[in-house]
Amino acid sequence: MTKVHRMVQLALCSVLAASAAVAMAEVTVTDPWIRGTVTGQSETGAFMTIKSTEALKLVGASTPVAQKVEIHKMEMDQGVMRMRPMNGLEIPANGAVELKPGSFHVMLLGVSKPLAAGEKVPLTLQFQNKEGKTISTTVQAAVRPLNEAHGDAKMHGDMKH
Amino acid sequence: MRTVPLSRCSRWLLVLAFACPLGWAGDAKAFNGKDVSARKIGGELNVPDSSGVRRKLADFRGKVVLIFFGYTHCPDVCPTTLSRMNAVLELLGADAARMQVLWMTVDPERDTPALLSNYVPAFNPSFIALRGSPEQTLRVTHAFEIQYQVLHYNGQVLVDHSAHGYLLDRAGKVRVRLGYDMTAEQIAEDVHRLLRGS
């Protein structure tokens, strides 16, 4: 009985140790926000800055407010704006990747009801490390007004030259 | 005496000498955007706005018109552009009343009049959303040299479109092409130049 108990304890310990090893990759998500929507608008974008102590790949995301969530890249090709789904977004070790208007965003598809400014929306981000282990983190993304100009670097004149 | 016509002549030369550098300076920095006055871009709109009223360029005679194209399901470029247009109006102050912002959808199938009526005024109540039939959309985008493509991919709709816009002068002529990377300040300066009549 005690032996079994001990074994369970050991097993539990190793599980904890394994999760601790995975948790070594410390993911920090700063300033997560979602652009608010109006009635009838079923898609919107989420933006944030992601940092990790270990090289990871953002492979997916989910939220109760959208049927489907994807990682998208916006690119300009000779003045034409294209948005394309990505298989994953690399987060380099100790580097910060900014998801902002004009580059990457988390795309919320099938948003059933309008998202009003001030609401908090849970957004779960799924990452994969080099060993293929999945790490998830849930953040509370703040809904900002549809006309939020945040991240519009060009408007504030601090664009890269 | 022969000196009189000479001094009259030199007086003219002086006037020219002062006038020319001023003229050149004005031309050298005409607009922050691309001056397309000499190009044949644009044409009559003749498309309904989101409330169903058919809009023509003559409706905005006397005002500088700023026109952009996009779609409401766009998470990135379109709301950023519309927010920037609102910033342009704020920078213009009292002159904002002498300008009209038009935003035309390139995705009329999904952008219903009801959705456009909710979406576009959320940026500024004075903005007018235009929604043409597929044929009208093709006609207007072609006239304004706007490319767009609606793609169906993996159950979702992807819309590629040109991100630039234009400023039309108070007579409705396309004068300045506005790049996506222009700041609100640069656009407001160009609007002021057009309002001053350059």
The answer to whether residue A130 sits within a structural domain is yes
The answer to whether residue A139 sits within a structural domain is yes
Q: What is the pLDDT of residue B154?
A: 80
Q: Evaluate if residue A43 carries a pLDDT over 50.
A: yes
The answer to whether residue A7 sits within a structural domain is no
For chain B, the three-class secondary structure string (H helix, E strand, C coil) is: CCHHHHHHHHHHHHHHHHHHHHHHHHHHCCCCCEECCCCCCCCCCCEEECCCCEECHHHHCCCEEEEEEECCCCCCHHHHHHHHHHHHHHHHHHHHHHEEEEEEECCCCCCCHHHHHHHHHHCCCCCEEECCCHHHHHHHHHHCCCCEEEEEECCEEEEEEECCEEEECCCCCEEEEECCCCCHHHHHHHHHHHHHCC
Mean pLDDT of chain B: 87
Q: How many domains does chain A have?
A: 1
The answer to whether residue A9 sits within a structural domain is no
Interface test with B, best of A73, A143, A155 (most B CBs within 10 A): A155
The answer to whether residue A132 sits within a structural domain is yes
Residue with tokens 């989420």: A46
| A38, A108, A155 ranked by CB distance to B122: nearest | A38
Q: What is the pLDDT of residue A24?
A: 66
pLDDT band at B156 (very low <50, low <70, confident <90, very high): confident
Mean pLDDT of chain A: 83
Say if the Cβ atoms of B123 and A155 lie within 8 Å. Answer: no
pTM to 2 decimal places: 0.80
For A152, nearest residue in chain B (alpha carbons) = B80
**The CATH number of the domain where A54 resides is what?**
2.60.40.1890
Q: Tens of pLDDT along B107-123?
A: 999 999 999 999 999 99
More confident residue, B29 or A138: A138
Over residues B65-70, mean pLDDT: 97
Distance CA A137, CA A50 (A): 11
Handedness of CA A158, A152, B83, A73 (dihedral sign): positive
Distance CA B43, CA B129 (A): 17
CB pairs under 8 A between A and B: 110
Q: Evaluate if residue B17 carries a pLDDT over 90.
A: no
The answer to whether residue A155 sits within a structural domain is no
Residue A97 contacts residue A50 (beta carbons within 8 Å): yes
Over residues A28-33, mean pLDDT: 96
Distance CA B145, CA B121 (A): 25
Q: Evaluate if residue B43 carries a pLDDT over 70.
A: yes
More confident residue, A149 or A121: A121
Q: CB of A86 within 8 Å of any CB in chain B?
A: no
Q: pLDDT > 70: what percent of chain B?
A: 85
Residue B164 contacts residue A79 (beta carbons within 8 Å): yes
In terms of Cβ atoms closer than 10 Å to its own Cβ (0-12, 13-18, 19+), residue A118 is exposed
Which residues in chain B are contacts of A83 at CB distance < 8 A?
Answer: 74-76, 158-160
Over residues A149-156, mean pLDDT: 48
Q: pLDDT > 70: what percent of chain A?
A: 78
Going by their DSSP bridges, the two strands B54-55 and B47-48 should be labelled as: antiparallel
Residue with tokens 């989101």: B50
The answer to whether residue A110 sits within a structural domain is yes
Q: Evaluate if residue B197 carries a pLDDT over 70.
A: yes
Query: Which of A8-12, A96-100, B48-52, B179-183 bottoms out in mean pLDDT, i.e. has the lowest?
Result: A8-12
The answer to whether residue A16 sits within a structural domain is no
Q: CB of A35 within 8 Å of any CB in chain B?
A: yes
Q: What is the pLDDT of residue A62?
A: 97
What is the ipTM for the molecules in this complex? 0.77
Q: CB of A105 within 8 Å of any CB in chain B?
A: yes
Q: Print the domain residue range for A105.
A: 26-148
Q: Evaluate if residue B139 carries a pLDDT over 70.
A: yes
Q: What is the pLDDT of residue A4?
A: 47
pLDDT band at B29 (very low <50, low <70, confident <90, very high): low
pLDDT band at A154 (very low <50, low <70, confident <90, very high): very low
Say if the Cβ atoms of B158 and A149 lie within 8 Å. Answer: no
